[in-house]
Amino acid sequence: MSACHCFYDDVNKMSLRAGSTVRESGGVVSGISTVVYHANYDSITLDNDMVVVQPFEPFQVGPNIQIVNVPSKFGYEAPAGLPVTVVGWGMDGDGNRPEQLQKVDLSVGKTSICKDIFADYNPVTESMMCAGVIN
């Protein structure tokens, strides 16, 4: 699972790496077999920014490759205060792509607070989760 906005390029030129926190080495690499974008993804607002990506061959579960559980209930809303970890290869503040996988530990915030904070910037919708340091 990933974010649709990460799949802006031809997926035939992309690959998946599992079992490593270094962008260009280690772990196991596979090509992409299937990409399923959320049917209601909006590239302007990033509403429903979810994609399921399937490698050509399943990754073998081991010490550095684990299965991540996601809620099975449609419409699940994480409760405010729930600790969450966000990881990714997104560009840093200078527009550079990091060599190391980035990680930050946050808490889920109240959606109503995020809606107020971002009201003049971008709408916060029901498909989005609010997280950060929010008092």
Residues contacting residue 131 through CB under 8 Å, at least 6 positions apart? 84, 86, 106, 107, 108, 109
Give the angle subtended at the CA of 107 by the CAs of 17 and 23, to the nearest 5°: 15
pTM: 0.78
| Topology of the domain comprising 1-70 | Thrombin, subunit H (2.40.10)
Please check whether residue 28 is in contact with residue 18, taking contact to mean a CB–CB distance below 8 angstroms. yes
| Topology of the domain comprising 71-135 | Thrombin, subunit H (2.40.10)
Question: For a pLDDT cut of 70, what percent of the chain falls above it?
Answer: 97
Per-domain boundaries in the chain:
1-70, 71-135
* pLDDT over 60 (residue 135): no
Q: Which one has a higher pLDDT value, 119 or 72?
A: 119
Are domains 1-70 and 71-135 of this chain identical in fold?
A: yes
How confident is the model at residue 118, as a pLDDT? Answer: 87
49-99, pLDDT tens digit by residue?
999 999 999 999 999 999 988 777 777 788 989 999 889 888 888 989 899
Residues contacting residue 35 through CB under 8 Å, at least 6 positions apart? 7, 11, 51, 52, 53, 54
